[in-house]
Structure 1
């Protein structure tokens, strides 16, 4: 469940694969490494923070203003066993004062337009 565009690298990918490739492309481009802290502003349904935790070994904070997105993403994160790596928050990004250790190594905000 990703709002923004997909990345069809070869042109023969299905939509799920292309969406995952788009997320991987973003996380690779920002040079996310294991142990980094990542803030995802407007985290939506949680796909980017989940991938960052699972594949890249990052500690993540995701923020959203949507109660529905927060509830579904929280459940997806719990089912994936990632609650120790992902802190999901129902709040405005402007209200974030600290990261996991007082700062973030990387910040993302993937627009859907």
Structure 2
């Protein structure tokens, strides 16, 4: 019989895939409102953070506040920190700080995302 002292990391999330339309946004008054650094969830935005906004229909699929999201074509894990107007469907908006050029360069595209829903034990 073999025993090990090595701890195996426990998976915290069930990962699911979804194809969405992705655009980009900046924290600028003319793109949002009079307080562009505060999200609909009440979080503060700062350039350099990996945040996204989601259309409200995606909230029902499990993309809730602080859900981790991996976006094809981008490095790292993004967190859901904002929600979009109810007119949008099956859409994410990637936060790009104040870099208008990067947001315009991203444009609008269909991407595959993976998002984690917590495993409850």
> What TM-score does the superposition give when structure 2 sets the normalisation length?
0.25
Larger radius of gyration: 2
* Greater relative contact order (CA < 8 Å, ≥ 6 in sequence): 2
Q: Greater helix percent: which structure?
A: 1
Q: Greater strand percent: which structure?
A: 2
